[in-house]
Amino acid sequence: MGAGAGRADVERVLRRTFLTLLVAAGFCFCAQPALAGGGSYAFAGGTVKEQATVHAALDASSFDWSLIPQTITVHVGAYGDSYSTYGNVFLDATLLDSGRFSWGVVQHEFGHQVDFFLLDDAKRALLQRQLGGMDWCYTTTGLAHAQHGCERFASELAWAYWPSADNSMRPSATNDEAGAMPVAAFRALLAELLGIPSVAAAPASVKAYAPVAKPKPKLKTQPKQRRKR
């Protein structure tokens, strides 16, 4: 009896130790920054489902997010509008709860991080000539969202690397934010620009916003024809 009780105690201790190590390992795994296409980001807030939506959005894009040289902090909360600052993306939780419909906005906001970290003034000036805009990024007050070159760039990037009918950045005309350049031409230009070494300089005070998401297109239903008797 004594030996059996002793073995039982040892087994209980071993089980507790194993469970403790398992929980600790799981915690460490969850605390690591997530990777999307090689890019690194960490969450501040958001449910498991909302965080999964962000991951899915970045995975849907063919852009190489690993080019961004810093871990981006993704804040999820009741922000009303989604927006970005240097190294930070703020996403409205209600938008993320719409699932796939929010993917374009997520990609748009990460497009701002590409601007902040990988572009210099010369490259921004070249892109603005191609994409349009009255200024690059909120140096002029009173302009509409689509009149800022940085917003046109972020929308164009979101669309060019995920040209899906489900993308809310999808242009309906050439004067739309994402419609200034054909997809292939924009991707070729950006690849060329990002292949040129540069020192990105984006003021920490820059705050760039997501555009108003286009509503989902409604499917047309055909009226039912009555059978002739």
- If pLDDT is split at 50, 70 and 90, which confidence band does 33 have? low
Which are the contacts of 120, defined by CB distance < 8 A and separation ≥ 6?
A: 198, 199, 200, 201
Q: What is the pTM of this model?
A: 0.74
Q: What per-residue confidence (pLDDT) applies to 210?
A: 75
- pLDDT over threshold 70, residue 34: no
Q: What is the mean pLDDT of the chain?
A: 82
- pLDDT over threshold 90, residue 130: yes
Mean pLDDT value across residues 174-181: 93
Q: Of the given ranges (31-35, 44-48, 198-202), which has the lowest mean pLDDT? A: 31-35
Which are the contacts of 9, defined by CB distance < 8 A and separation ≥ 6?
A: none
Tokens linked to 152: 């046109």
Q: What per-residue confidence (pLDDT) applies to 11?
A: 53
- If pLDDT is split at 50, 70 and 90, which confidence band does 96 have? very high
- If pLDDT is split at 50, 70 and 90, which confidence band does 211 have? confident
> Percent of the chain scored above 90 by pLDDT?
67
- pLDDT over threshold 80, residue 36: no
Q: What gap in Å lies between CA 27 and CA 45, rounded to an integer? A: 16
Q: What per-residue confidence (pLDDT) applies to 208?
A: 73
Which helix H or strand E contains 25, and what residues bound it?
Answer: helix 2-31
